[in-house]
Structure 1
Amino acid sequence: MRLTTTLTALAAVLAATPAMAQTLAEDAAVFGARQSVEDVSISPSGDQLLYIQPGAQADETIYVVNLKTGGEPTPVITMNEARARLQWCAWATEQRIVCSLFGMQDIGGTLLGFTRILSIASDGSDTEMLTSTSNRARGTLQDGGSLLALDIAGEEDKVLMTKRYIKEDGANTRLFNDKEGLGVDKVDVDNGRGRPVEDANRMAADYIADENGRVRIMMAQDTTASGYDGSDFRFLYRTADSDEWQPLSVVDSTGNLDRGFVPVAVDSSKNVAYGFDIVNGFKALFSVKLDGSNARELVMARDDVDVDGLIRIGRKRRVVGASYATEKRFVEYFDAELDKLAGALAKALPGKPLVSIVDASEDENEIVLIASSDTDPGTVYLFEKDSRSLSELLALRTPLAGRAMGTMKPVTYPASDGTQIPGYLTLPPGSDGKDLPAVVLPHGGPGARDEWGFDWLVQFFTARGYAVMQPNFRGSAGYGSAWFGKNGFQAWETAVSDVNDAGRWLISQGIANPAKLAGVGWSYGGYATLQSQVLDPDLFKAVVAIAPVTDLELLREENRRYTNFLAYDKFIGKGPHVEAGSPARHADRFSAPVLLVHGSMDQNTTIAQSKLMEDRLAGAGKSVDLLEFEGLDHYIKHSQARGIMLNRIGEFLEASLGS
């Protein structure tokens, strides 16, 4: 195997954890640690691999490994800013890496997220900012651009990326910019200089390029007189031989459900756009001809769940398949060669059925993939077509090596109205599944769903002896528009009732000890666990809410300062459900002690939500505690902070449940 030396070096770098943790503090540290590897990319030649390795605090280091010669991984650059983090990195050329950086700023009391795209020499010797910025701009540049193409035909040192234009002060100067809107630039990754490909367009919200780097689709969004973004979108396209824009589709975005054809990729060889639309209440994959006919073809649809994933491969992001999730996620490949490879990988990796292709070399001879399961956090592999060899590269969570994990089992349970609710039950390793302390863990969103696979939060609880139930309550995405309904805020009573019924089912099956049942949730899941107390204050004996919504009207008003306010306003809706569905307004109903966790730089659900809940509960004489993380956002992506959080949750549950 050509990677023997490299793998030894990688193992040495990533092996940084003691053996088998047993105490709460040790479990909290190892399960709270971020992934050992958070992104992977292979160079155009297939000879070099880069990966991002988070540190114990806010630091993230980019490493490069020469797969041909082996040797120690080389640290390229370390980012160490608490309010900014790397989103992804990819090879632009054999010598340059491009990376996207996300950060948060507090400007006059308003939290603003921002992105920037950087180009970094693969040896770390030089860094260039590809996002075009100006100190004369009349506003704050939040959108640092999105990468449309890594591979532009005939121009290997260029990438295609969007550019946000903001009017500048200084109208009498030669370099004054009077444009505003979204355009597209062709940018040199060596020096950061850009050349316009699409001029600024005030109506443009996004663009899609084909595999050769030609812009073929524009998403347009209206702006209201008050300055807010409209909630409807128009997509326009270009034929292969024209630069004129033609109408493609109109999309109504209502309550997180898109109605109308939403293109996501263009295949110029077939001259089609791939995208999603609704068929009989379920999301389906279509292709639409970009030749003036707008001829539509159904590519994949199901009558039980949404087809919601498009599978793409390589530097040109070639469309090769689609995916959907029933009890587990499945991929269907349109590409015969990849379909055959998937079958071979299933036999070679029988214990890791979740296999995803994450990158490929320019000729697609070297393919990087990740294989995982419910009990295996995942491993990065390299498959080489010419030699038909499969090599193990990197473990995604090195600190958890050798740990026994709980098996995630798909289940259904009856709601109070008789509807069968799907979900996942995970029991502690070696448990008989009877009379256990238990956690009901509703997902965030609410326009999301839980899926079968490894979950660090679930496995922390099972390591501490808890059974964990994850309900895909009505209001979850993935099961069609009827299941999603009005969404989990406007139809909160249905969604939260389903969450509570998950707890009742655990008790009825003898799995949960009724005196040791807790509700834990993050984001919308935190909202649901708090609101569960309003419906049935005696069910859960402890409630943990991480970054929750606690007042729907406050959520609406907090978003009034942002351009996407109308989407939030429509999503929350108006009516009696706003008052009834706000747990902070019903603190007197609470019976269980409450632990709140929040980051001070959370833009999704501001810390004001948790502070309001804390104030209302304390004022009502209820038991409440707030754990605040200064400078962290909604996702608390900080290993030490997550370890502290898990340790505090563990202590809280043990004290509250007597477990």
Structure 2
Amino acid sequence: MFRFSLWVFVVCLFAAVSSCGSKQSTNGLIPVEDFFVKPEKSNFKLSPDGSKIAYLGVDDHCKNIFVLDLHNKDRSKQLTYQSDMNVQYFFWASDSLIVYANSHSPGDSLRIFSIDVQSERSTALFPPKKGRLRWVSPQKLHRDYLLASLNDRDSTVFDLYKVYVDGRGLQLVTQNPGNVSSWFASPDGKVRLAVTSDSVQESILYRPDETAPFKQVSITDYQTQIRPLGFVKDSLDLIYALSNQGRDKLALVEYNIAIGREERLLYSNRHVDLEPEGYSDNLQQMVFSQYTLDKVEKHFFDPVFQKRFEKLSAQFKGQTVDILDTDTSLNRWIVKVYTDMHAGGIYFYDAATNEVRLLTEVNPKLTHAVLSPKEPISFQSRDGLTLHGYLTYPPNRRRESLPVVVLVHDGPNRRESVDFDAEVQFLANRGYLVFQPNYRGSSGYGKKFWAAGFKEWGGKIQSDIIDGVTWLIHQGIVDKNRVAIMGSGFGGYSALHAATYNSSFYKCAISMSGYTNLFTYFKEIPPHQQQYVRLFYNIIGDPSREYEMFKAISPVFHADKVKIPVLFAQGGNDRFSSLTDANQFVQKLKNNNVPIRYIYKEDEGRRFRSEENIIYYYQEVEAFLKDYLK
């Protein structure tokens, strides 16, 4: 089974008949809720033997686990019956056992359970705890326990534990000396590898067996990464890793952890970083490497798997096929098939029989809607850096003198690509060109490009965004008098920065959970991320040593400079954006008679999660842009 990020959740709906599709009006407008309605089913996962599929479905207004039996549909059933809280995530620990967590919200107490698929007996693995838990890879059952790290003893560090699935509780394996950020187990369940970090330097620690002490075998600076993926088959000394040591882009290498040396380069792409996908825990080998140019691409190492993938892809010509999960034999897959204009569907694929079965459409409301493609562009920054981005044009409009919404991605250590984006399609459907720039500091383009964004939150990153819009204006695509900027998190900060310092360039700004005060941003870093504070100092800046810079680029101190309308959305549980600072910023705008629409939802966090609140937010966005950008 391939390893996939715990935080990557695929949301989907069961297929609907065409009469349930989007009610696109005569003027082409699609209802807001059709873009942002919450799916009822998500997170499909194959059992290790490929006989069953589990997924999250909604029952009694809460997310619960359901199981599809691929051999006998009569044995398909609902497995959990939560009525007052959601199942936050789950995974197969074995062919018959699922481990899951439930809570009222992601920040709630830890509640971890195992459940036997046949008997439906659920067992609490330990009493509810305040803290965070990280499952150790590979995420599979070792006899009667799983491995996990937990910040129970000390909220700032993660100790290594055995978590017994029969409810016996936790057993401490290794106490964190204070700087271990990740633990890794070999296929036999022995933890032989650890990664430490002090924010400035990162080290790999190795021990031949669990009776030996860890020894440091490599040390790198914070810009250099050696990211373990898994052990090489029949070796306890060699691992597959992504590394940019001695190169600009993350490449796939074989790395000797006994002596801390790269043994050989397996694959690289000269344009972009490779991504941590394609390693089979069961086979202990790389099946493929993955990277994103504009779309997701793959380089295969297993010719049989490659032929299967190509055979499947041939049934979906012109569409992107993402592998979400496989069984341990790699014979059965769950895939997502989509384009930038179609949310697509989740499919089950049996390579042995060539069966392809639709499990659910991602958003049947938009199946027959007329949407717009994302088109890649590149342009030069004022200091000569080549930047990439994407344009999504409003359908059935001339491509000249258009109003534009500059949609700034969060991070900054993220990137845009050609994928399906409901927010982008909503804005394009409302008649706006959508511009998504991958400014300096965005991820995926190598460490030089990433480092070019260091300490430039309020400087060259914002200039990159302006340079992109200026290029569009010079091309005749954009009306210079109708430029809006919008984003969440860092994108929201960019919108507030634009309203504060570039009111003559932008017509209006929309911020979801944007940072108003970067001093507060550092104060709100949670205990389990404190070890990365010095890294943040290098990337963002040191608020004590660079006080004047922080004050200069924090919008809350310069609200009197805002001259354009602002829509500001804020959640009461957003730990990175202080409610006090947000209220102060909004009040200053009101005092200065600047048009301000303030959306505050007490129970929301950094992004709104409630379907009702999400739809309300975009209804307000629609009205705001209609008033100030049309």
CA distance in 2, matches of 1:151, 1:599: 36
* 2:179 is aligned with 1:217: no
Change (3 A) 1:260 1:424: closer
Equivalence map 1:74-473=2 (5 Å): 74-77=77-80, 79=82, 86-101=87-102, 115-122=110-117, 125-130=120-125, 132-133=126-127, 141-152=130-141, 155=143, 158-166=145-153, 182-188=159-165, 191-194=166-169, 196=171, 198-203=173-178, 204-221=180-197, 231-239=200-208, 243-253=212-222, 258-271=223-236, 272-278=238-244, 279-292=246-259, 294-313=261-280, 319-353=286-320, 355-473=321-439
Q: CA deviation at 1:445?
A: 0.3
Deviation track 1:43-91 (CA, whole Å, cap 9, x = no partner) reads 233222111236897x32322222222359633335566xx75443222
Deviation track 1:501-560 (CA, whole Å, cap 9, x = no partner) reads 222233333333333321111111111122123442122211101111122222223338
Q: CA deviation at 1:26?
A: 6.2
Of 192-201 and 211-220, more deviation after overlay is shown by 192-201
CA distance in 2, matches of 1:557, 1:412: 37
CA distance in 2, matches of 1:390, 1:113: 39
Aligned match of 1:571: 539
CA distance in 2, matches of 1:553, 1:28: 36
Q: CA deviation at 1:163?
A: 4.2
Change (3 A) 1:284 1:314: closer
**Structure 2 stretches of 5 or more lacking a match?**
1-12
Aligned match of 2:8: none
CA distance in 2, matches of 1:652, 1:34: 23
1:34 corresponds, among 4, 16, 38, to: 38
Equivalence map 1:399-548=2 (5 Å): 399-487=365-453, 489-548=455-514
Deviation track 1:287-345 (CA, whole Å, cap 9, x = no partner) reads 21245574532222233222233323476785322222222221212222222222223
Whether contact under 8 Å (1:236, 1:245) holds in the other structure is yes
Q: CA deviation at 1:472?
A: 0.5
Whether contact under 8 Å (2:515, 2:576) holds in the other structure is no
CA distance in 2, matches of 1:586, 1:440: 22
Change (3 A) 1:277 1:165: same
CA distance in 2, matches of 1:366, 1:217: 31
Change (3 A) 1:295 1:524: closer
Q: CA deviation at 1:195?
A: 6.5
Change (3 A) 1:167 1:645: closer
Deviation track 1:234-272 (CA, whole Å, cap 9, x = no partner) reads 32123379744232322433xxxx424232422343442
> What amino acid is aligned across from residue 338 of structure 1 in structure 2?
F
Q: CA deviation at 1:95?
A: 3.3
Q: CA deviation at 1:165?
A: 4.4
Q: CA deviation at 1:609?
A: 4.5
Equivalenced residues, count: 607
Partner SS, residue 282 of structure 1: coil
Change (3 A) 1:197 1:293: same
> What amino acid is aligned across from residue 66 of structure 1 in structure 2?
D
Q: CA deviation at 1:646?
A: 0.8
Aligned match of 1:20: 23
If asked which structure has higher relative contact order (CA below 8 Å, sep 6+), I would say: 1
> What amino acid is aligned across from residue 162 of structure 2 in structure 1?
D
Whether contact under 8 Å (1:444, 1:521) holds in the other structure is yes
* 2:72 is aligned with 1:69: yes
Partner SS, residue 530 of structure 2: coil
Q: CA deviation at 1:164?
A: 4.1
CA distance in 1, matches of 2:515, 2:403: 26
> What amino acid is aligned across from residue 68 of structure 1 in structure 2?
H
Deviation track 1:389-421 (CA, whole Å, cap 9, x = no partner) reads 322222122332222221001111333345432
Aligned match of 2:5: none
CA distance in 2, matches of 1:16, 1:46: 34
Partner SS, residue 497 of structure 2: helix
Of 548-557 and 68-77, more deviation after overlay is shown by 68-77
Q: CA deviation at 1:477?
A: 1.6
Aligned match of 2:55: 51
> What amino acid is aligned across from residue 571 of structure 1 in structure 2?
I
Partner SS, residue 198 of structure 1: strand
CA distance in 2, matches of 1:102, 1:571: 33
CA distance in 1, matches of 2:28, 2:606: 24
Partner SS, residue 236 of structure 1: strand
CA distance in 2, matches of 1:542, 1:608: 23
CA distance in 2, matches of 1:647, 1:87: 28
Q: CA deviation at 1:583?
A: 2.0
CA distance in 2, matches of 1:302, 1:216: 30
CA distance in 2, matches of 1:540, 1:113: 40
Whether contact under 8 Å (1:313, 1:359) holds in the other structure is no
Q: CA deviation at 1:641?
A: 1.6
Deviation track 1:417-455 (CA, whole Å, cap 9, x = no partner) reads 454321000112333323333211011101111111011
Aligned match of 1:584: 556
Aligned match of 1:174: none
**Structure 1 stretches of 5 or more lacking a match?**
1-9, 106-111, 135-139, 169-179, 223-229
> What amino acid is aligned across from residue 226 of structure 2 in structure 1?
F
User: What is the TM-score when the length of structure 2 is the normalising length?
Assistant: 0.87
CA distance in 2, matches of 1:66, 1:148: 26
> What amino acid is aligned across from residue 96 of structure 1 in structure 2?
L
Change (3 A) 1:263 1:388: same
> What amino acid is aligned across from residue 124 of structure 2 in structure 1?
M
Partner SS, residue 554 of structure 1: helix
